[in-house]
Amino acid sequence: AQSVTQPDIHITVSEGASLELRCNYSYGATPYLFWYVQSPGQGLQLLLKYFSGDTLVQGIKGFEAEFKRSQSSFNLRKPSVHWSDAAEYFCAVVRSNFGNEKLTFGTGTRLTIIP
Amino acid sequence: DSGVTQTPKHLITATGQRVTLRCSPRSGDLSVYWYQQSLDQGLQFLIQYYNGEERAKGNILERFSAQQFPDLHSELNLSSLELGDSALYFCASSPPGGGGNIQYFGAGTRLSVL
């Protein structure tokens, strides 16, 4: 069965500092990969996705992620965080075959921003 | 705004009761997914419907059931509620085309079972 691991439960960074959130997946083939963000009391908003092609993908709000097949990783990065980035971030995968489209989520990483 | 509407936003009920959560997908989306978010289980897939038919089932309890109507809105029915059913329930929708399509999430229904 596919699985997603987000090893960091909670990360604290200073405003203006760079950020990297880790995500590793376990699946025999390359799945579709996603990063979602959940602000307090809100639903899940898609930040970016990877299906194929260029392994560095750009998303909204200045986020990017890099797919590394050799490491089964899809880490999320931002060069300079803003206080409004404080939220919970979820990495997710979908198997690539039609008809099995459920999202499997990691446990999430809570991001705290300090002034 | 994702375009996915969930009602109600909050639901407080007692153990043993039955509730219905409603979801209206984005215009044109044929797939509806239900997810449960709880502190101990995280985000878990419950069930998917595609154009009125059940397509995939996840960790959905027998006390829970869902359906998708001809107008494509969906309802999740939870019965014989237990304290452990307290969670945030999300609905998501996606257009036709397979696993590569983005799932757009509603704001969720927070269920509190007392």
- Span A35-94, pLDDT tens digits: 999 998 788 999 999 988 889 999 999 999 999 999 999 999 999 999 999 999 999 998
Best of A101, A107, A109, A110 to mutate (most B CBs within 10 Å, chain B): A101
A23 burial (CB, 10 Å; 0-12 / 13-18 / 19+) is: buried
Q: Which residues pair with A56 in a beta bridge?
A: A66
Residue to substitute from A103, A109, A110, interface B, most B β-carbons within 10 A = A103
* Residue A12 binned pLDDT confidence (cut-offs 50, 70, 90): very high
Which residues of chain B does A32 touch, with a Cβ-Cβ cutoff of 8 Å?
99-100
B2 interfaces chain A, CB cutoff of 8 Å: yes
Cβ-contact B25, B72 below 8 angstroms: yes
- Using a CB-CB cut-off of 8 Å, the residues of chain A touching B104 are 46
Q: What does B38-70 look like in DSSP terms, one character per residue?
A: ETTTEEEEEEEEETTEEEEE-S--TTEEEEE-T
CA distance A40 to chain B (A): 11
State how far residue B3 is from chain A, nearest Cα, in angstroms: 12
Tokens at residue B91, please? Answer: 């609905």
Is B102 within 8 Å of A108 when comparing Cβ atoms? no
Q: Is B55 on the interface with A (CB under 8 A)?
A: yes
Closest-CA distance of chain A to residue B56, Å = 7
* Structure confidence by residue, pLDDT tens digits, A54-67: 899 999 999 999 99
Residue A66, pLDDT score? 96
Dihedral over Cα of B6, B80, B60, B13: its sign:
positive
Minimum Cα–Cα distance from B90: chain A residue: A43
Q: What is the torsional sign of CA A100, B48, B71, B101?
A: negative
CA dihedral sign of residues B99, B69, B59, B43 = positive
In the block, tokens 């939870």 appear at: B78
Determine if the peptide bond prior to A79 is cis (ω within 30°).
no
pLDDT tens per residue across all 114 residues of chain B: 889 999 999 999 999 999 999 999 999 899 999 999 998 899 999 999 999 999 889 989 999 999 999 999 999 999 999 999 999 999 999 987 765 678 999 999 999 999
